[in-house]
Structure 1
Amino acid sequence: MRNRLGRECLYVPSCRLGLYVALRHWCRPGGRVLMSPVNDDVILFVVLAAGLRPVQAPLDPRDGSIDPRAVPDAVWHGLSAVLTTNLYGNPDPAPGLRARCDALGIPLLEDAAHAIGSRVGGRPVGSYGDASVFSLSKHTAAKTGGFLAVADPALRGALEEARDDLLAPSRLSSELAYALRPYAEAGVRGLRLVRAARAVMRLLGMEEREEIRMPLRADELKQAMAEAPALGPFHSWVRVDMHDYRIAPGAARHSRTARLLDRLDDRLAAHLAGTRRLLASPWAAAGPGPVQPLFRVPLLVEDRDAAIAALARHRITTGYLYDPPLDAYASGLFTDPSPAPAPARWFARHALPADPLQADRIIAVLRKSGARPADVPAGCRLGGDGG
């Protein structure tokens, strides 16, 4: 990954832990961080755990990327950092955000969990920020691990020490479960026991959300915020769906992750081919720039829930939904709302994240079900008057 990005890279057990390390290093507690409202709620809690105030950004309704033109000047000048999302692999406008952060003297941090193969401005996503975090559980399907990439290699030692201070010891039971999981999942798929398996995963705490968003638990969250910055008080929120997020990896994890990472280029080529097919479908709204090897393609569907149900009847699971936006989910108690919330609300309601590796099956099901494309309404136009 150092060769791919041209940056020093530090392994972390999870993207979320790498992000926490980066936020604690580059941002003083009490600062304000511009971020996307269409993102995993875990990321909101990581920002809060770092003692920071999330500020929700306006979005491009075509692909969910940040729309800097709709951010008012007053918001820009109150920020301590900008955190990109690169949702589903669609790049945020990193060159412009880099220039804006440089002018303001604040750090740019890139969350590239979905974008390990994406490029913007002729460079890889993750090569613009002061730091960037990647997930190895997405494109590689390793289901563990990530890395933190930094512009200044001299910082590696301090960041490694900060990471190690947060790690929990490796456990034999955790390593054994990780080693056996691929075989168990293959057996479940072969026996068509997906529903039963997901029920078991929920019982074991490996899949904790019954709805798209996890329960906020506002009163408990207020108590946790009084102890920020600290990861411990936020553990029950940050660990959701990944209880091993801060466990030191053992040999099994390292071996499988390295093996899958060796196949990354083939995986990216398959994602790129599937992305092209999905973007040629009636439900796609191509964003700016070249086609990327997207982790998921956000198809825009009029009745998204009906489309999800149709796919489920053909045993196609839809994940990575982020509805409602974080400012509607968390309210003004825990985040500053977007100054232009309509595009994010519309996108979150209509985006159907489609796996490029199942492009042909998804297109066939949507056609058969009569799913109608959703057109971006006039009230969700791009850009604003705030620079």
Structure 2
Amino acid sequence: MRGRLGRECVYVPSCRFGLYVALRHWCPPGGRVLMSPVNDDVILFVVLAAGLRPVQAPLHPLDASIDIAAVPEETWNSLSAVLTTNLYGNPDPAPELRARCDALGIPLFEDAAHAIGSEVGGRPVGTWGEASVFSLSKHAGAQAGGILSLSDTGLGDAVRGTCEHLLTAGRASSELAYAVRPYAEAAVRGLGLRRAARSATGLLGLAERDGIRMPLRPDALARAVGAAPDLTAFDPWVRVDMHTYRLRSGPLRLRRIRRRLGRLDRVLTRSRDGTELLSSTRWARPRAGSEAQPLFRVPLFVADRDAAVAALARRGIVVGYLYDPPLDDYAGEMFTDLSPAPGAARWFARHALPADPLRAREVIDVLERSGARPADPPGDLTRPEATSDGPGPFGD
């Protein structure tokens, strides 16, 4: 990763852990962080755990990147930091955000979990901010590990020391479970037992999400906010889908991660090819004049997203990385500053179907056979009063 980015890189057990370390290093508690409302809820809780106030940004409706021009000037002047998302690998406008942050004297953080291999402004995503975080569970497929990248090479030892202080001890049982997981998942797929496996997970109390978003539990969350900054207080929210997020990595994890990273360039080539194919379909709305990036997922826009998800599931294609409703509709103004123009985020969250470019031909075949209809164009959703799609299901 140092070779790819030309920056100091620190291995961390997860992207979310690395982001927490970066926020704590640069941002004193009580600060305000501009972020995207179309993002994993875990990221909202990481920002809260660091003792910071999330501020939801207006977005461009076709790639969910931050719409810089739609952010009110008074909001810019109140910020302590900006956090990009680079959703599905589509880059946020990092050069412009870098210039804004420099003018304000605040740090820029890049969440590049989906964006290994993506570029913006002629540079890799993750090379514009004071810090950036990468997930090794996405393109690399290692199901563990992350990278915290730093613009200042002199900070490596200090950041490693912070990580050591926050890590929990590794466990032999966790290493064993990690080692056998790929074989168990392959057996489930081969025997057609996905539905039974999901049912068993629910009966054992291991399923922490009934829907796309995890339960907010506002009373308990308010108590955790009162204890922030404190990662342990937020553990019930931050650990969802990855209970090993702050666990010290053992040799089995590190060995598999090295093997997976050795195949990364081949995966990125296949991802770029699949992205080009999906971007040529009637459900796609790619950026005009832009070259295909090796996206982790390609957002296709369908009128009835839930029906399309069900049709793909019948083919054995599980659609994940859905972020509906947007975070401000999900969390409310008790836990975040609401976007001044929420329409674009709501439209994207409701209609985006994140398609795996490695299975592009299968996805296209299913959508064609099911008669999936492209979503109507979003129109002008950048105005504060533009709420034609209505609030998300948890809004009011």
Q: TM class, shorter-chain normalised?
A: over 0.9
For 1:165, the aligned partner's letter is: H
- Give the structure 2 partner of residue 94 of structure 1: 94
In structure 2, relative to structure 1, the CA distance for the partners of 1:86 and 1:382 (3 Å cut) is farther
**SS of equivalent to 1:226:** helix
Per the alignment, residue 346 of structure 2 pairs with 345
Query: What corresponds to 1:362 in structure 2?
Result: 363
Alpha-carbon displacement from aligned partner over 1:72-120 (angstroms, at most 9, x marks no partner): 1111000000000000000000000000000000000000000011000
Q: Which amino acid aligns with 1:45?
A: F
Residue 186 (structure 1) aligns with: 186
Counterpart in the other structure of 2:170: 170
CA RMSD of the aligned region, Å?
Answer: 1.4
- Counterpart in the other structure of 2:109: 109
Cα distance in 2, alignment partners of residues 23 and 313 from structure 1: 41
Partner residue, 2:13? 13
What do the CA deviations read for 1:236-258 (whole angstroms, capped 9, x no partner)?
Answer: 00000100000000000000000
Amino acid at match of 1:155: L
Question: Helix, strand or coil: the match of 2:333?
Answer: helix
Measure, in 1, the Cα distance between the counterparts of 2:250 and 2:173: 11
Q: Tell me, in whole angstroms, the C-alpha distance in 2 between the residues paired with 1:206 and 1:17.
A: 21
Aligned to 1:225: 225
Aligned to 1:272: 272
Distance across 2 between alignment mates of 1:264 and 1:11: 17
Q: Structure 1 residue runs of 4+, over 4 Å off?
A: 202-207, 381-384
CA distance, structure 1, for counterparts of residue 244 and residue 45 of structure 2: 17
Query: Do structure 1's residue 257 and structure 2's residue 222 form an aligned pair?
Result: no
CA contact (8 A) 2:342 2:382 kept: no
Higher relative contact order (CA 8 A, sep 6+): 1
2:236 aligned partner: 236
Q: Tell me how far apart the structure 2 counterparts of residues 356 and 201 of structure 1 sit (CA, whole Å).
A: 28
The letter for the 2-side match of 1:160 is R
How far off is 1:320 after superposition? 0.3
CA contact (8 A) 1:32 1:53 kept: yes
Give the superposition deviation at 1:206. Answer: 5.4
| C-alpha displacement of 1:199 | 2.9
d(CA) in 1 for partners of 2:384, 2:100: 16
Q: Distance in 2 between matches of 1:299 and 1:56?
A: 23
Residue 247 of structure 2 aligns with an amino acid whose one-letter code is I
Q: TM-score, normalised to structure 2's length?
A: 0.95
Give the secondary structure class of the aligned counterpart of 2:339: coil
TM, length-normalised to structure 1? 0.97
- Provide the C-alpha distance between the structure 1 equivalents of 2:275 and 2:133, rounded to a whole number of angstroms: 23
Aligned residue pairs, count? 384
- Do 1:283 and 1:374's aligned partners in 2 also have CA atoms closer than 8 Å? yes
- Tell me, in whole angstroms, the C-alpha distance in 1 between the residues paired with 2:49 and 2:34: 15
The CA distance in 2 between the partners of 1:331 and 1:382, in whole Å, is: 20
Q: Give the CA deviation at 1:205.
A: 5.9
Contact 2:341 2:383 in 1 (8 A): no
Which blocks of at least 5 consecutive residues in structure 1 are unaligned? none
Tell me the CA shift for residue 290 of structure 1.
2.0
Deviation at 1:203, TM superposition (A): 4.9
| CA distance in structure 1 between the aligned counterparts of 2:313 and 2:65, rounded to whole angstroms | 27
**Helix, strand or coil: the match of 1:332?**
coil
Question: 2:35 is matched by which residue type in structure 1?
Answer: M
